[in-house]
Amino acid sequence: EVQLVESGGGLVQPGRSLRLSCAASGFIFDEYAMHWVRQAPGKGLEWVSGISWNSGTKVYADSVKGRFSISRDNAKKSLYLQMNSLRAEDTALYYCAKEIGIVVVRGAFDVWGQGAMVTVSS
C-alpha cells in the first residue's frame, strides 16, 4: 500500500524552529518529486514547497521563502521540512504529498499523508 506518514508537529513559540518528517512506503521513493502543502484551520489549501527526485530542484512559496527548507533522504525514504522563524500565520495542518509522474515536477499530487498539525503560539 502506498502511504505517507507525517510526524514532528506540535506547539511552538513564535520565532522558534520545528522540523517535520514524512515517511514514505509502498512506492519507489527516489523516482518521485515530493511536496509540502498546508491548510490553516478552516481555510483552504496552500502549496508550501517542493523538491525534485534528486534534490536538484527546490522551490518555495513566497510566504515561507528564506524561513523554510525542504530536503529528502532517499536511502531513508523520507521527506523533511525545516521550519525556522515560525510565525502565528504558519499555524496549519501540514501535508506531505507525492507527485503523480515519475521524475517530473509538475505539481500534481496523487498521494497525501494525513497531516501533521503545527501550532505557533506563545
Q: Which parts of this chain interact with another protein (CB under 8 A)?
A: 35, 37, 44-47, 50, 59-62, 65, 95, 100, 105-110, 112-115
Containing H/E element for 46?
Answer: strand 45-51
CA distance 64 to 83: 8
**Least Å from the CB of residue 54 to another protein:** 16
**Least Å from the CB of residue 75 to another protein:** 26
The residue (of 16 and 43) whose beta carbon lies closer to another protein is: 43
The residue (of 8 and 47) whose beta carbon lies closer to another protein is: 47
The set of cell numbers assigned to 12 is 511552538
The residue (of 31 and 110) whose beta carbon lies closer to another protein is: 110
58-62 own/partner pairs: CB under 8 Å, 24+ apart: 59/105
Query: What is the Cβ-side half-sphere exposure of residue 40, based on CA atoms within 13 angstroms?
Result: 10
**Least Å from the CB of residue 108 to another protein:** 4
